[in-house]
Structure 1
């Protein structure tokens, strides 16, 4: 990302909406926004590090409540929530931090929730696991702040491998949805 260009564009935007970019509260805003964009859009440059695996096996591994923040590609407003990942290993498991990095890799981009869910499932499944389920629950500021101005949330899911089978899907969904104090589903 060219931070100097972003700063220039933000300054121009401030002018276009009718503000004075030299007034005290706004004079450092282009710099702050350029720094923020570098941070919140670093998913284009990041690596999920899924190649780091451990020689263990388990029937199912479930990671619940992975927090994420993303930016809607339609309105460039935030959406955020929790992602739940379940996978059936094939002799090797991933560290929990790798699943968090995988979520960050795709959430820190201009995105829609449905694609975010699919991207995570596809990359994890490509690592050779037997099956993957990804569930995402999110609130969208593009819906809260404008348009219909509603607090509805969106849930999206992706199923790969053995979890595409109806019986396996029902079994893994019951495990993911098992309520714990921190589980949002």
Structure 2
């Protein structure tokens, strides 16, 4: 199933354990790796981890519609490319729950109203603050912009380094993964694609 197909409202509280249950799960993991959760340095770790997870995965509490629904009509007739590049993000791989991080380049061709630029960065943060794959993250950002803002086209490129390839497994440091997604006019307009790539990478 496409990760985006899951209802946004269903992500919020479906079968959610309590904070105390989450802390107990952390204690179980500490025991599993061979630690003593009762030793001084680890006594408060379960509560700290639960709090940190609340921050790291705050995207489950945020809906893209809430930030993309407000646009600005007064754009003086501007209808060309809008690109916000080098948006830093941190996310977590859904396969191993270890970080991946990098930068996103997000562009759209307005069909009238324009977005506040900070909204694009916040949209990246919403989806990055969930368990992800880079491919799904790229598609979700593009599809949200496409379906909520309804521009003439959206172009997304994400460049990221994955700790699941650096810290474990093949242990290849410095490896960067690039994902790209085009919608609307960008899908069939090679010059627009090339222009986006040149501006994003330039």
Q: TM-score range by the shorter chain?
A: over 0.9
- Alignment counterpart, residue 124 of structure 1, candidates 125, 141, 145: 145
Match in the other structure for 2:177: 154
Task: Write the mapping of 1:31-46 to structure 2, written as runs, cut at 5 A.
Answer: 31-46=47-62
CA contact (8 A) 1:66 1:82 kept: yes
Alignment of 1:144 with 2:166, yes or no, is: yes
1:101 aligns with 2:137: no
TM-score when normalising by structure 2:
0.85
Q: What per-residue deviation string (whole Å, max 9, x for no partner) do you get for residues 64-87 of structure 1?
A: 111111000000000000000011
Q: Unaligned regions of 5+ residues in structure 2, if any?
A: 1-15
Q: Which one has a larger percent strand, Structure 1 or Structure 2?
A: 1
Deviation for aligned residue 1:172: 2.1
Q: CA deviation at 1:168?
A: 2.0
Question: What is the Cα-based RMSD across aligned positions, in Å?
Answer: 1.1
Number of aligned residues = 178
- CA drift of 1:15 comes to 1.1
Contact 1:136 1:157 in 2 (8 A): yes
Q: CA deviation at 1:24?
A: 1.1
Name the structure 2 match of 1:114. Answer: 135
Q: In the TM superposition, what is the alpha-carbon distance from 1:171 to its structure 2 partner?
A: 2.2
Q: Normalization by structure 1: what TM-score?
A: 0.93
- Aligned-pair distance for 1:16? 1.5
CA distance in 2, matches of 1:110, 1:101: 17
- The equivalent of 1:59 in structure 2 is 80
Between Structure 1 and Structure 2, which shows a larger proportion of helix residues?
A: 2
Shift of residue 45, structure 1, vs aligned partner: 1.1
For structure 1, list consecutive stretches of 5 or more residues without a partner in the other structure. Answer: 179-185
Q: SS where residue 117 of structure 1 aligns?
A: helix
- CA distance in structure 1 between the aligned counterparts of 2:165 and 2:200, rounded to whole angstroms: 27
CA distance in 2, matches of 1:40, 1:30: 15
Q: Which residue of 2 aligns with 1:169?
A: 193
Contact 1:87 1:133 in 2 (8 A): yes
